[in-house]
A and B are shown apart, each in its own frame.
Chain A
Amino acid sequence: MLKLEEGQQVSKVTDMTRKLALAALCALAAFAASPSQAQQATEIRLTYSNGQFQPNQVSAPADKPVTFRVKNLDAKAMEFESTSLRVEKVVAANSEGVINVRALKSGRYEFYDDFNDKARGALTVQ
């Protein structure tokens, strides 16, 4: 435990707060930098009807961003969601949703309708 004069204490605590705020801002600025934006995206078109994705198996090249265009033909809203792609988007009935995904590494990425456990699909990146 350090014992300081009152003026020193206030000054040091204020200084500490300033440093913490600066560190947080620097961290946020670094985090915000995303290299995937400049690259051309691979577009994948899906339709959603009768509670199913069509097609439900799609593929894309590695290290390139992906754009999903999901056309919901059903009369109720669906939510395109994927834990591994880290995206979710509600697509209203009879409308289209656009979901932009970062450049992906090789692998299999599952997606689903969060409102309908039976609607599943997968993206294979290679």
Chain B
Amino acid sequence: MALCVIAGISSYGGAARAEDASAWRDIETKYIFGFTTGSGIGLEGEKEFTVDSIGRFGKRDGNYAATETKYEFEFTPSQFIQIEFGALGSTHNIGGVTGLDDRNQVALAGGFAEFRYLALERTSNNPLAVTLAVEPTVRRIDETSGERVRNFEFETTVNADLELMRNRLYAGFNLLYEPEVTQMLTGETQREATFGGSAALSLRLASNVVLGGEVWYLRHYDAANLTSFTGDAVMLGPTLYLRFTPKMFMTAAWNTQVWGREIGNPVSLNLAEFQRHRAKLKFAWEF
């Protein structure tokens, strides 16, 4: 990925130099890295409505497509805190996948809230910024199978980014710990956790266009305390950020699983806990 981005930067070099990046406004980094979240927390007093869809596609066999969409309101009450909350909608289109019931459904899946705290701010003398975030989520529809459940998730992330070239090139890093507990209709209770991290590189091609790539390494456990490891995966793909107007933008990303393993199953890739592909498409309106 890094090589591809560096090659892109090189080929783009002449055109990039032609436009003076120092004349561009600073960019909000939160959404420029795809699935990787930047450190940005918005501007005090700013409010935003976003529609953020994540699609997951491909299991070991059959047809598998599932999406979860956040209908989200976010606001920044101080220069250090951002708060978001909203509803979740989901779709599941599953046929012939081993271990999952066939399903074709659209549902209101639950709700979530997110609290973000800017722990280290970027200045013209310090290129690194770090934000800590927690996101409690409640679901009535299982993300993977689409079954009716009671699911409680508590995503905890560290979002860091680094301005490598002023107004031009950025690196993003996430650390993720996501414990969850799911109560099935059958009465079973499952505890699990996902742990991992990501690295991303994004190049600002124009004042309103950012293109990049990211890589994720994710580990899955059948316990919240990371004691029962079941498999891991590496996801890789391109990212795009596009600002249409000063108050409206979109971001898109595509990740493909390029490596994975399931403990106790000698097949390539981990398609039990993760998917073959995932995609993200987000539109935001600030006001």
Contacts and interface: CB of A to CB of B under 8 A. Distances in A.
A106 interface: yes
Contacts, number: 99
B80 interface: yes
A114 B78 CA distance: 19
Interface in B184-242: 187-191, 222
A110 B25 contact: yes
Nearest to A28: B115
Interface string A64-100: 0000000000000000011111111100000000000
Q: How large is the interface on B (under 10, 10 to 19, 20 to 34, 35 or more residues)?
A: 35 or more
Contacts of B134: 23-24, 27
A36 B4 CA distance: 44
Given A83-B28, A88-B45, A89-B45, A108 B117 contact: no
A58 B107 CA distance: 54
Interface residues of A, number: 41
A12 interface: yes
Contact of B125 (A16, A83, A102, A106): A106
Contact of A108 (B124, B150, B181, B191): B124
A9 B42 CA distance: 40
Say whether chain B's binding surface is mostly helix, strand, loop, or mixed: loop
A31 B123 contact: no
Contact of A1 (B125, B126, B188, B246): B188
Contact of A105 (B45, B126, B222): B126
Contacts of A13: 150, 152, 181, 183, 189
A34 interface: yes
Interface in B117-162: 117, 121-126, 134, 136, 150, 152, 154
Contacts of A101: 79
B81 interface: yes
Contacts of B45: 87-89
Nearest to B81: A31
A1 B182 CA distance: 10
A84 B123 contact: yes
A24 B117 CA distance: 12
B27 A83 contact: yes
A40 interface: no
Contact of A112 (B25, B42, B136, B191): B25
11 contacts: A1-B189, A1-B222, A20-B136, A28-B115, A30-B117, A31-B117, A82-B26, A83-B28, A86-B79, A102-B80, A107-B125
Interface of B: 25-28, 41-46, 76, 78-81, 113, 115, 117, 121-126, 134, 136, 150, 152, 154, 181, 183, 187-191, 222, 246
